[in-house]
Amino acid sequence: MPLPHPQTVVDASSACEELPSAGPFTTEERNAVYRAIESRRDVRDEFLASPIDAAVLKRLLAAAHAAPSVGLSQPWSFILVREAETKRRVADIFRRRNAEAAAMFEGERARDYRLLKLEGIEKAPLNICVVCDRTRGGPVVLGRTHQRDVDIYSAVCAVQNFWLAARAEGVGVGWVSIFEPDDLRPVFDLPEHVMVVAYLCVGHVDRLHDRPELEARRWAARLPLGEVVSDERWGAGSSLFER
Amino acid sequence: MPLPHPQTVVDASSACEELPSAGPFTTEERNAVYRAIESRRDVRDEFLASPIDAAVLKRLLAAAHAAPSVGLSQPWSFILVREAETKRRVADIFRRRNAEAAAMFEGERARDYRLLKLEGIEKAPLNICVVCDRTRGGPVVLGRTHQRDVDIYSAVCAVQNFWLAARAEGVGVGWVSIFEPDDLRPVFDLPEHVMVVAYLCVGHVDRLHDRPELEARRWAARLPLGEVVSDERWGAGSSLFER
* Chain segment B1-54, per-residue pLDDT in tens: 444 454 556 555 453 456 888 899 999 999 999 999 999 999 999 999 999 999
Close Cβ partners of B184 (under 8 Å, ≥ 6 residues apart):
B90, B93, B129, B190, B196, B199
DSSP A68: -
CA B124 to chain centre: 16
Alpha carbon separation from A195 to A181, A202, A219, B168, B190 (Å, rounded):
7, 20, 30, 33, 30
- Name the residue among A17, A157, A240 with its Cβ closest to that of B156: A157
Q: Say if CB B204 and CB B188 are below 8 A apart.
A: no
Which span out of A3-7, A114-118, B5-9 was modeled with the highest average pLDDT? A114-118
Q: Is residue A10 part of a domain?
A: no
Of residues A120 and B243, more confidently modeled: A120
User: What per-residue confidence (pLDDT) applies to B224?
Assistant: 97
Percent of chain A with pLDDT over 70: 92
- Name the residue among A30, A80, A159 with its Cβ closest to that of B169: A30
Which secondary structure element, helix H or strand E, spans residue B201, and what is its range?
A: strand B194-204
Q: Is residue B241 part of a domain?
A: no
User: What per-residue confidence (pLDDT) applies to B140?
Assistant: 96
Instruction: Please write the tens of the pLDDT for every residue from B180-190.
Output: 999 999 999 99
Q: How confident is the model at residue A242 (pLDDT cuts 50, 70, 90)?
A: confident
Domain count, chain B: 1
Residue B84's identity, in one-letter code, is A
Instruction: Please write the tens of the pLDDT for every residue from A168-223.
Output: 999 999 999 999 999 999 999 999 999 999 999 999 999 999 999 999 999 999 99
As a 3-state breakdown, chain B gives helix, strand, coil percent values, each rounded to 5, of: 35, 15, 45
- Cα separation, A29 vs B28, in Å, equals 8
Min Cα distance A124 → chain B (Å) is 15
Return the residue of A nearest to B217 by Cα. Answer: A10
Checking if the pLDDT of A243 tops 70, the result is no
Full pLDDT tens readout for chain B, 243 residues? 444 454 556 555 453 456 888 899 999 999 999 999 999 999 999 999 999 999 999 999 999 999 999 999 999 999 999 999 999 999 999 999 999 999 999 999 999 999 999 999 999 999 999 999 999 999 999 999 999 999 999 999 999 999 999 999 999 999 999 999 999 999 999 999 999 999 999 999 999 999 999 999 999 999 999 999 999 999 999 999 985
Average pLDDT over residues A145-163: 98
Q: Which residues of B touch A170 (CB under 8 A)?
A: 22-25
Query: pTM for the whole thing?
Result: 0.95
Q: Is residue B15 part of a domain?
A: no
User: What per-residue confidence (pLDDT) applies to B242?
Assistant: 80
Return the residue of B nearest to A87 by Cα. Answer: B232
Q: Is residue A197 part of a domain?
A: yes
Q: Say if CB B89 and CB B95 are below 8 A apart.
A: no
- Cα separation, B37 vs B242, in Å, equals 25
Per the structure, the complete domain to which residue B158 belongs is given by 41-217
Alpha carbon separation from A41 to A92, A172, B81 (Å, rounded):
24, 7, 31
Min Cα distance B48 → chain A (Å) is 12
- CA-wise closest residue to B91 among B174, B171, B163, B176: B176
Return the residue of B nearest to A116 by Cα. Answer: B12
Q: How confident is the model at residue A37 (pLDDT cuts 50, 70, 90)?
A: very high
Q: Is residue A70 part of a domain?
A: yes
- CA-wise closest residue to B200 among B234, B233, B231, B176: B176
- Cα separation, B131 vs B54, in Å, equals 21
Q: How confident is the model at residue A21 (pLDDT cuts 50, 70, 90)?
A: confident
Checking if the pLDDT of A76 tops 80, the result is yes
CATH number, residue A48? 3.40.109.10
Q: Which residues of B touch A210 (CB under 8 A)?
A: 18-20
User: What per-residue confidence (pLDDT) applies to B16?
Assistant: 43
User: What per-residue confidence (pLDDT) applies to B11?
Assistant: 55
Average pLDDT over residues A136-153: 96
Q: Is residue B26 part of a domain?
A: no
Tell me what the pLDDT averaged over chain A comes to.
93
- Cα separation, A51 vs A124, in Å, equals 9
ipTM value of the model? 0.95
User: What per-residue confidence (pLDDT) applies to A110?
Assistant: 96
* Contact state of B229 with A78 under an 8 Å Cβ cutoff: yes
Q: Is residue B23 part of a domain?
A: no
Min Cα distance B239 → chain A (Å) is 10
CA A235 to chain centre: 28
Q: Which residues of B touch A232 (CB under 8 A)?
A: 79-83, 86, 188
Q: Is residue A231 part of a domain?
A: no
User: What per-residue confidence (pLDDT) applies to A20?
Assistant: 85
Residue A81's DSSP bridge partners are: A127
